[in-house]
Amino acid sequence: MDETLPTATVRTRVTVPLRFPDGYVTTARVHTFHGLVDGREHLAFGLGEHVDADPPQVRPHSECLTGDVFGSQRCDCGPQLREAVERIAEAGGYLLYLRQEGRGIGLYAKLDAYALQDDGLDTYEANLALGRGADERDYTVAAQMLGALGVDRVALLSNNPDKAAQLERLGVTVADRVSTGVHLSPANAGYLAAKVTRADHALDLPFVP
């Protein structure tokens, strides 16, 4: 890990059985941490029998209350979370649940951005119109969490090149990049298209050249 990165330590480990609405079940070893630089309560879910795989499969997943909990169709966050848990449980690794709602701008601001999207802006333009960054997420705590777990090489489960770039800058070797599925619905087509055209996400959409 990067020597300049503040050291975090594991605070608590606890076993939590998980059950998703579609009936999928697995067991996670949930970790909390001391020393995370932003002071927020981020979690690492250890999944699978081979959590010590080299490299472990890792997904940094940014919290999305509307998608993860309430099943909002305006994004693909809920389906990505569900997919990631199963794939990581099969391969062995960690899901890092990061408390940075709305690409880092917060829940209320995200809903304000939705209102601007209803008026014709895309998801990135809406954030900028609110005076925020197009994507304010910072993966320093993800690198700290991995360091506390003894992980310095990962197979990154993500379509987002910025996650890989930030982790590499923070001293985490991205040994492999694994794309998630395409979770397309009529309500999120514009959102997914913006992720491809504005942020180079690796999504194979039939309507984006």
Number of Cβ atoms within 10 Å of the Cβ of 188: 20
Rg (C-alpha) for the chain, rounded Å, is 17
Rounded Cα gap, residues 100 and 107, in angstroms: 9
Q: How far is CA 168 from CA 119, 145, 188, in A?
A: 37, 14, 30
Residue 134: name the closest of 74, 179, 199, 73 by CA: 199
Report the DSSP beta bridge partners of residue 149: none
Helix (H, G, I), strand (E, B), or coil: what is residue 177? strand
Rounded to 10 degrees, the C-alpha dihedral 151/155/160/165 comes to 50
Strands 57-62 and 43-47: unpaired
Known catalytic residues are 135, 137
